[in-house]
Amino acid sequence: MDKDTFRSAMRQVAGAVTVVTTRGQDGEARGVTATAVCSLTVEPPSVVACINRDTWVGQIAPESRNFCVNVLAKAQQPVAETFAGRTALTGAERFRVGDWQDCETGAPVLEGAIASFDCELEQAVDFATHVILIGRVRRTLNDNSGAEPLVYVDGGFTTTQSAA
């Protein structure tokens, strides 16, 4: 399997856009835009997030042992671009974009997100370039089920369209 063919097939897979945040042991917050995030089990309530170890979150979360998955609304595309490193803002400066509060675990939660999942890290599994964060969900926050979701497909941001 050559990686360009794999990449081009994966480009066609639409993904919900999230920002995965964590608060480090030094008190500093970090976040990363991520689509490789999904539900794992209902019992116990758990999620997985696949994060490159070159990112701040990939380095910090395995030690801070907290993370929050914030599922973005379409109107929050500027937040996604900021935490994907597409602006001049770095590190904790990125939290200047969007309205952020602290979850119980300490990880930042984004006001107005479609849903947020505050997690304690259960397990961090290394695979190649990435770390798979397995989180036990302690609390869900935000409930904006009526908002249009932010979706990434074929290299661009879009949203879902209702059939009606």
Ligand X SMILES: Cc1cc2nc3c(=O)[nH]c(=O)nc-3n(C[C@H](O)[C@H](O)[C@H](O)COP(=O)(O)O)c2cc1C
Residues that bind ligand X (CB under 6 A): 17, 32-36, 50-52, 54-56, 84-85, 152
Across the strands, what pairs with 136? Answer: 46, 120
Exposure letters 116-141 (e unless 16+ CB within 10 A, then b): bbbbebbebeeeeebbebbbebeeeb
Contacts 24+ apart (CB under 8 A), 156-164: 157/17, 157/74, 157/77, 157/80, 159/74
Nearer to ligand X, 67 or 152 (CB): 152
Nearer to ligand X, 30 or 65 (CB): 30
Alpha-carbon gap, residue 16 to 18, rounded angstroms: 6
Q: How far is the CB of 105 from ligand X (least distance, A)?
A: 19
Q: How far is the CB of 42 from ligand X (least distance, A)?
A: 22
Q: How far is the CB of 18 from ligand X (least distance, A)?
A: 8
Nearer to ligand X, 104 or 123 (CB): 123
Nearer to ligand X, 26 or 54 (CB): 54
Residue with tokens 């904006």: 144
Q: How far is the CB of 145 from ligand X (least distance, A)?
A: 22
